[in-house]
Amino acid sequence: MLTALFGGTFDPIHYGHLRPAIALIKEVGLTQISLLPNNIPPHKPQPEATTAQRLAMLNLAIEDMPLFSIDTREISQGNLTRPSYTINTLQKWRSENGDRAGLAFIMGQDSLLSLPTWNNWKTLLDYCHLIICRRPGYAEKTDNVELQSWINAHQTKNSLDLHHSPNGYIYFAHTPLEDISATEIRKNINNQQSCNNLLPPKVWQYIHAQGLYSAKKS
């Protein structure tokens, strides 16, 4: 069994997260995707929605999708003053699930390109595989020689490899290109533009009901 974690701020969750993730279930043969909302510590620029609101939107988004779940470890009490470093979460997951359990961490191409800014990024593959979703506007290759050679050393084109070892591979998925970002959604809402084709209707209704992302709160 291959478990997948999909980390993000999800401020708010949108179809740019959901459609590639849904496509991955079939393409890679995933049995479960856990959405992993991250914590941003108090001294950093905060998401516009509160942690409780981000979580509520995730719950609404996956209501009818049993293959999705939510992993709240990074936003649970006790963890809220610390940044959520993915490497720490992966280490914790490993210690709970053992060395033989398959784990993949899903991210968009933009996140892959930013990896050299992540804590202990080169050791991520000691704990999981990486599944990379295409994202419009982000190059397939990077000028960062260290990152590109690390990718080359670990890339597989065969998704079955992800099932045959518990960690260690990077797989570039053929997921649909969705030109959607949370930043653009927040901006559109603030400009009183509708975004209901960019995220699930229930999430859109919740944003509306809570007056989220709008300078003029209802």
DSSP-derived 3-state class of residue 51: helix
- Which CB, 73 or 135, lies closer to ligand ATP? 135
- Which CB, 100 or 155, lies closer to ligand ATP? 155
Q: Closest separation between CB of residue 89 and ligand ATP, Å?
A: 14
Which residues, at least 6 apart from 122, have a Cβ–Cβ distance to it below 8 Å? 150
Q: Please name the helix (run of DSSP H) or strand (run of DSSP E) that holds residue 171, with its range, or none.
A: strand 170-172
- Which CB, 99 or 121, lies closer to ligand ATP? 121
Return the axis-axis angle of helices 51-62 and 201-210, rounded to nearest 10°: 150
Q: Closest separation between CB of residue 98 and ligand ATP, Å?
A: 26
Enter the DSSP assignment of 196: T
Q: Closest separation between CB of residue 212 and ligand ATP, Å?
A: 13
**Residue closest to ligand ATP, measured at CB:** 108
> Interface with ligand ATP by CB under 6 A: which residues?
8-11, 16-17, 20, 107-108, 110-111, 133, 135, 178, 180-183
- Which CB, 16 or 102, lies closer to ligand ATP? 16
Of 168, 142, 138, nearest to 155 by C-alpha is 168
Q: Closest separation between CB of residue 73 and ligand ATP, Å?
A: 16
Q: Closest separation between CB of residue 99 and ligand ATP, Å?
A: 25
E-state strands within 81-139? 102-108, 129-133
DSSP-derived 3-state class of residue 10: coil
- Which CB, 98 or 215, lies closer to ligand ATP? 215
